Structure 1
Amino acid sequence: MNPQTTGLEAGDLGAEPEHAEIGTAKQAAADDRVLVFGRLLGAANRLEHILGREIEAECGISHLMFEVLLILGRAGEPGLPMRRIAQEQVLTTGGATRLVDRMVRAGLVERVAEPGDRRVHLVRLTEAGERTAVTAARLHARNVQRYLLDALPADERELFAAQVKLIGHAARDALPPLG
C-alpha cells in the first residue's frame, strides 16, 4: 500500500517497534500502533453498518443472523451445538441461545436432537434459512466487492485477504476458551 494513502511512513510499524514510551494522551493518540488498530476497527465498524443495513433491508435479518446462517451452512448436517455457535461468534452461550430463539421463530433454523445423544440439541438450517443465506450472501458479496475490494488496488487484494486471515487467526488463537 502507498504510505501516502495510509498516513504511515515506511518502517513506522516494524516488527521491533522503536516507539517512545507513551506518557501522555497526545502521545497515545499519535502512536502508530494505536492509530492502525483504530483505523482497522473504524473501517470494520463502518463497513459492518453499511453492509448490515443492506442485508436487513433486503433480507429481513441482522448481520449477526447472517453470520450464523453461514456458520451453519459450512457445518452442514446434522448441525451444530449451541456452544459451537457461541464460540464461532464470540458470544456467551446465553446470547447465542437468544439469537437462535429469534431465528427459530423466524423459521430460519431448527433445533434437533443429536443422533447419538438425545440430551444434546443441534441447530441446523431450514429450507427458508438456506434460501435466506443464499440471497443474503449474493447481496453481501456484491457489497463487499463494491465497498471493500474495489477500494484497493487490484494487485493488492489477494495479499490483503491473506493478511486479514492471518490477523483473524492470531486473534482467535489468543482468545481464552469460552464457556
Structure 2
Amino acid sequence: MEGGEALLEALNSTPIRDGGRSDLWAQGQELSLWAIRHGGDGSPSEQAWLRRTRDALQGVVRGDSRAEVLLPMLEGVRKVPFVDAGHVEWAVEVETERRLAVELILDWASIQKSSPGRLRPCANSECSLFLLDRSRSNTGRWCSMRACGNRIKARRHYARRGSERPAAPDGASAVQGG
C-alpha cells in the first residue's frame, strides 16, 4: 500500500457535495469494493476498522487530533522480520479485519517520515479533501488546481477588482445603471 494512493483515496472519501460533507464509505458496498481492490475481504468488521482509522487519520492530518489517537488501532500489532532474496524485510502481524487499517496508518507514518509536511488538507476552506504534494518546491495548496485552485484564484481576482472600484462622492459605491 506504499506510495500514498490508497491513503489519499481513504482520506478523500468524505468530499463536499451539494454544500455538505458526504461519506462515500457510509454505504458498505463502496467500502467493500475499495477494501477488496486493496487486498482485503470487505467484511463488516474490516469496514468498521477502515472507517474508524480514516476518521482518525483525517483529524491528525488536519491538525485537529494528535497522532496518539491512532494508537488504539495499532494495539497488538507486530512487525516481524523475514529474509527475502538476501534482504531483511518486515511483515505486519495483525488480525485480517485490521490489516488494511493498519497499513493505512503505516503508509501515513512512512509519508510523515520521508516527506514531512507534504500530506495536508486542501487550502480551500470549503473543501474537505487532502493532497500529497509531490512537487519539488512543495508549494501545492489545493487538492486539484482545476477545481479548488482556480476557484480560489478567481475569488481573489474578483475581490481585488471589487475593491478597486472608485467610490462615489457620498461614499456609496460607484454603480452605473439605468
Q: Scaled by the length of structure 1, what TM-score is found?
A: 0.25
* Larger helix proportion of the pair: 1
Q: Scaled by the length of structure 2, what TM-score is found?
A: 0.25
Larger Rg: 2
